[in-house]
């Protein structure tokens, strides 16, 4: 409800105004004060949408109240003056101070209602303008932050941000990643985006004023659904927490309030917003390293990429031999070189920082090999998925068994790239969908059938069709269902079953999404 403050020193006039109309039915909640000073004190504690004040009162008049509100910028409420004919000149002066309107005494109910309708309409227009302005401002801020993340910014960008934050503060880029692989297989791209929106809203609720530094969908990868966030040390300092305590509290809030699978990647701490692109780059490194780390909810770059002060040895000879074996797809050589690599690591003394640096060297070399064969797909994401898919429960990620299995799979992937499997396999899968759409088809099963890496196949599919395999299959099923509704007398549950849906309600919802109406209505319209 809108709020109105009635201000008059005569009690019977206040009571008369309160009883003149049914304020609640008109959508208003009423407050009263007996002079301008009382009203001023009230406005310091409460906000209202409209003030109706008598122009002549003791202590502080209505006109003085209006001037004080403007001077102190105390309220943006619409202001209406109550005056008699004798005070008309005062009312004219009030209009010069942005008074919305004035009402001559005695007040009539129709006249008062007209004022309320006018103010409600003005309030709606103002709120709409504010919302539009806020959206434009947020969009401009997001674009500016994206320029900083890419390192392509200018002095104007820094000056713009200087009004909103301490640009010299220590900062980190934080990626809050929705783990879409653990969501139900039935989730379409649109539904995943809906879940990302839910995550973004929860982040806004927690961050409050700092939410302006939160950006949805920063990554350019089609497989990553993320919220980006510029963390500065002042945020934790305000509530007397460390960075780790603050971000842990933030993560707990997101998980509790969304019930979504989330991973947080915290980039390297840098000095000032002008260096934030360096922190952003380290979160991309973290994303690649995930597949070689034990699974957890939050990763800090400094912890995952430690290098001791005395330096770290890279077993370059053994790793180069392993890379050559992977490139040729020779499993015997891969097994041999993995063993040699771990033997060398044992000799030099395995530490976390030593292993991390050697694994990093291996990953970047493999990404480089794949990018030379196909630069259009996200090779970092495919490497991460291959690594995660070859990890085994109960076995350490990055251990000898995991590294060997990953190397075998990556060798097969490189072989597929060299053969350019996209030329024929997508056509085969199209035919497979046409013939067997009612079966439980999955990208994983098809990748095994056609001997193609599932991560690579998923990216090829998106590149050609602009959607995930799951959405492509759903769309085909709905089109087939529409044909059956047009050409047969089958019942809705029979149609659902015929095109591969076991759950009728799920089928109906998917049909509505695609066709804009229920299957029953679609059939009736035909």
DSSP notation for 269-292: PEESGGGHHHHHHHHHHHHHHGGG
DSSP SS3 for 396: coil
- 176 pLDDT higher than 80: yes
What distance in Å separates the CA atoms of residue 463 and residue 420, rounded to the nearest whole number? Answer: 14
If pLDDT is split at 50, 70 and 90, which confidence band does 478 have?
Answer: very high
**Quick one: pLDDT at residue 140?**
94
- Closest by CA position to 487, among listed 472, 476, 498: 498
Q: Which of 135-139, 183-187, 202-206, 520-524 has the lowest mean pLDDT?
A: 183-187
- 253 pLDDT higher than 70: yes
Q: How many residues does the chain have?
A: 526
Task: Kindly indicate whether the domain formed by 425-525 is annotated with CATH number 3.10.20.740.
Answer: no
- 432 pLDDT higher than 60: yes
Average pLDDT over residues 65-69: 91
**Quick one: pLDDT at residue 455?**
76
How far out from the chain centre does Cα 130 lie? 22
Give the helix/strand (H/E) hosting 389.
helix 379-389
- Which residues are within 8 A (CB) of 33 and not within 5 positions of it... i.e. 6 or more apart? 5, 6, 7, 39, 42
Q: Is 478:514 a contact under the CB 8 Å cutoff? A: yes
**Quick one: pLDDT at residue 100?**
86
Burial class (CB in 10 A: 0-12, 13-18, 19+), 264: buried
pLDDT (tens digit per residue) in 257-269: 999 999 999 999 9
CATH code of domain 2-126 = 3.40.50.2300
Average pLDDT over residues 333-343: 89
Q: Which of 115-129, 349-363, 479-493 has the lowest mean pLDDT?
A: 349-363
Strands (E), 65-204: 78-83, 101-104, 170-178
- 308 pLDDT higher than 50: no
pLDDT (tens digit per residue) in 268-293: 999 999 999 999 988 887 876 666 66
- Which residues are within 8 A (CB) of 5 and not within 5 positions of it... i.e. 6 or more apart? 31, 32, 33, 39, 42, 43, 48, 50, 51, 52, 53, 77
**Quick one: pLDDT at residue 91?**
61
**Quick one: pLDDT at residue 138?**
92
Q: Is 313:348 a contact under the CB 8 Å cutoff? A: yes
**Quick one: pLDDT at residue 309?**
46
- 75 pLDDT higher than 70: yes
- 304 pLDDT higher than 90: no
If pLDDT is split at 50, 70 and 90, which confidence band does 186 have?
Answer: low
Q: What percent of the chain has pLDDT over 70?
A: 89
Mean pLDDT (the chain) is 86
Backbone angles phi, psi at 366, to 5 degrees: -65, -40
**Quick one: pLDDT at residue 24?**
93
Give the helix/strand (H/E) hosting 110.
helix 109-150
Conformation bin of residue 211: beta by default, left when phi > 0, alpha when psi is -120 to 50: alpha
Average pLDDT over residues 143-170: 92
**Quick one: pLDDT at residue 363?**
84
Average pLDDT over residues 118-125: 94
Decide which of 86 and 321 is more confident.
321
Average pLDDT over residues 60-87: 86
**Quick one: pLDDT at residue 162?**
92
**Quick one: pLDDT at residue 401?**
86
**Quick one: pLDDT at residue 356?**
72
Average pLDDT over residues 323-327: 90
Where b means 16+ CB within 10 Å and e means fewer, 151-180 reads eebeeebeeebeeebebebebbbbbbbbeb
Decide which of 302 and 236 is more confident.
236
Q: 165-304: which CATH topology?
A: Alpha-Beta Plaits (3.30.70)
Q: What percent of the chain has pLDDT over 90?
A: 44
- 58 pLDDT higher than 80: yes
Q: Which of 72-81, 179-188, 212-221, 446-455 has the lowest mean pLDDT?
A: 179-188
Burial class (CB in 10 A: 0-12, 13-18, 19+), 136: exposed
**Quick one: pLDDT at residue 189?**
77
Q: Which of 71-75, 177-181, 382-386 has the lowest mean pLDDT?
A: 382-386
pLDDT (tens digit per residue) in 438-472: 888 888 888 878 777 777 787 777 777 878 888 88
- Angle of CA points 437, 412, 369, to nearest 5°: 120
- Angle of CA points 72, 73, 77, to nearest 5°: 130
What distance in Å separates the CA atoms of residue 95 and residue 88, rounded to the nearest whole number? Answer: 11
**Quick one: pLDDT at residue 464?**
79
What distance in Å separates the CA atoms of residue 180 and residue 192, rounded to the nearest whole number? Answer: 7
């Amino acid at each position: 409800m809108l709020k109105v403050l009635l201000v008059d020193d005569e009690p019977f006039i206040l009571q008369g105004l309160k009883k003149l109309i049914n304020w609640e039915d008109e959508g208003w909640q009423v407050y009263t004060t007996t002079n301008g000073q009382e009203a001023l004190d009230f406005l310091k504690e409460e906000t209202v949408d409209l003030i109706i004040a008598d122009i002549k009162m003791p202590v502080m008049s209505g006109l003085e109240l209006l001037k004080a509100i403007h001077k102190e910028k105390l309220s943006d409420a619409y202001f209406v003056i109550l005056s008699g004919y004798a005070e008309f000149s005062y009312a004219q002066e009030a209009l010069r101070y942005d008074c919305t309107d004035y009402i001559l005494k005695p007040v009539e109910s129709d006249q008062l209602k007209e004022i309320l309708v006018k103010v409600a309409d003005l309030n709606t227009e103002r709120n709409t303008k504010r919302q539009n302005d806020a959206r434009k401002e947020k969009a401009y801020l997001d674009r500016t932050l994206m320029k900083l993340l890419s390192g392509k910014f200018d002095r104007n960008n820094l000056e713009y941000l200087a009004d909103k934050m301490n640009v010299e503060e220590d900062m980190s880029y934080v990626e809050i990643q929705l783990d879409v692989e653990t969501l139900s297989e039935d989730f379409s791209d649109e539904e995943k985006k809906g879940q990302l929106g839910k995550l973004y809203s929860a982040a806004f609720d927690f961050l409050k004023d700092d939410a302006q530094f939160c950006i949805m969908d920063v990554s350019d990868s089609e497989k990553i659904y993320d919220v980006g966030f510029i963390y500065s040390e002042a945020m934790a300092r305000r509530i007397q927490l460390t960075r780790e305590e603050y971000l842990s509290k933030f993560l707990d809030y997101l998980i509790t309030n969304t019930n979504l699978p989330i991973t947080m990647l915290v980039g390297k701490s840098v000095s000032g917003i002008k260096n934030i692109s360096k922190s952003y780059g380290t979160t991309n490194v973290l994303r690649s390293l995930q597949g070689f780390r034990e699974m957890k909810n939050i990763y800090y770059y400094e912890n995952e990429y430690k290098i001791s002060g005395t330096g770290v040895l890279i077993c370059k000879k053994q790793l180069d031999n392993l890379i050559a074996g992977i490139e040729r797809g020779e499993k015997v050589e891969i097994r041999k070189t993995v063993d040699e690599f771990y033997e060398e690591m044992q000799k030099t003394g395995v530490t976390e920082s030593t292993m991390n640096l050697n694994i990093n060297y291996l990953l970047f070399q493999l990404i480089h090999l794949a990018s030379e064969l196909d630069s259009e797909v996200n090779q970092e994401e495919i490497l991460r998925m291959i690594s995660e898919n070859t990890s085994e429960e109960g076995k350490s990620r990055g251990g000898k068994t995991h590294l060997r299995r990953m190397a075998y799979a990556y060798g097969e992937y490189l072989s597929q790239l060299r053969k350019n499997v996209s030329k024929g396999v997508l056509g085969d899968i199209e035919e497979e969908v046409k013939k067997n759409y009612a079966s439980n088809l999955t990208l994983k099963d098809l990748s095994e059938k056609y001997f193609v890496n599932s991560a690579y196949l998923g990216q090829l599919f998106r590149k050609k069709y602009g959607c995930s395999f799951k959405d492509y299959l759903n769309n085909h099923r709905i089109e087939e269902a529409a044909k059956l509704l047009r050409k047969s007398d089958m019942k809705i549950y029979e149609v659902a079953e015929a095109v591969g849906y076991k759950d009728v309600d799920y089928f109906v919802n998917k049909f509505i999404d695609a066709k804009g109406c229920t299957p029953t209505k679609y059939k009736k319209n035909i």
